[in-house]
Amino acid sequence: MKIEKNILLKPYNTFGIDVKAKSFTNFETIEELQEGLSFETNRIILGGGSNILFTKDFDGLVLKNELKGIEVVKETDEHVYVKASAGENWHQFVMHCVENNYAGLENLSLIPGNCGASPMQNIGAYGVEIKDVFHELEALHIDERSVEAFSASACEFGYRESVFKRKYKNKFVILNVTYRLNKIPVFNTSYGAIEQELQNMGVKELSIQAISQAVINIRSSKLPDPKQIGNAGSFFKNPTLPKAELKRLQAIDPSIPFYNVSDTHIKIPAGWLIENLGWKGVRKGDAGCHAKQALVLVNYGNASGKEIFDLSSEILASVKEKFDIDLEREVNII
């Protein structure tokens, strides 16, 4: 295993932040990962770099996950169980499943990042979350160097949450994820603009391929391509609040949108809150709030991580001041 020194991390984070790591290496096997973990106690595991904001140089070891492989591990009359290594690109994996008529992931097309991050974040879009298709994962316990399996219940999935973000943060490295996909598709087109886009596409017969393309079209029209404008997708979570809060919020602005998530709680779109306060399209130097999607903070070229973080702090403060809602960052801050 080769440990490199003073490596630029700009190519390895989708924000395109120009920082350095004191040490850097890739791992393609579990053995290489275990070897890398023994070099340095101050370390981070980097996947696709799509959910991270570097605010300064990293004074430690970056271990870049390059675990690869996709295989069908089990089939039943109704389901196919597909295992993906953690270093596989998420969108390419979704396309693999769509091409093979494995249904369930089509609504999650074009989400940036790698497969290993999908259960960590419980990624979701257009009415589907990873927990809906998750079977199990394997992860390496960093201290004990043992490989452990996690069922769906053991992952304790929540909205953009799992045990790996809080309870077991920095305790495990996800090695692979197995998804339970459908041989007979159950189409989910009611969320967002999917039905309208399918009409625009002239789709006569619904398929997972058509839904995937509709999602790709919608995301491409609303969200900046990280290869063109640095970003990490949605920067903020949609806040979940007790229903009792709704009257107070409607007194502030009667047009505030909300969604019922349970008998006792509602979800407020963070993008609406941010746009309502005039942040959409605001640019401070090369740090900005995207002109088409207020949830997305962007690097127009040479913004530092601190400048983007400071912009996010201003947005959080303004939402707190007007609505008394504490927005939460979805992106990991380093």
Residues annotated as catalytic are: 160, 234, 330
329 contacts: CB under 8 Å, gap ≥ 6: 235, 236, 237, 312, 316
β partners of residue 125: 128
β-bridge partners, 176: 85, 138
- Helix/strand/coil for 122: coil
Spatial distance between the Cα atoms of 274 and 315, rounded to a whole number of angstroms? 7
Listing DSSP states for 5-44 in one string gives: EEEE-GGGSTT----EEEEEEEESSHHHHHHHHTT-SSEE
Asked whether the beta carbons of 120 and 166 are under 8 A apart, the reply is: no
Buried b (16+ CB within 10 A) or exposed e, 260-290: eeeeeebbbbbbbbbbbbebbebeeebbbbb
**φ, ψ of residue 193 in degrees (nearest 5):** -105, 20
Beta bridge partners of 83: 71, 178
Where b means 16+ CB within 10 Å and e means fewer, 297-311 reads bbbbeebbbebbbeb
Instruction: Name the burial class of residue 25, with classes exposed (0-12), middle (13-18) and buried (19+) by CB atoms within 10 angstroms of its CB.
Output: buried
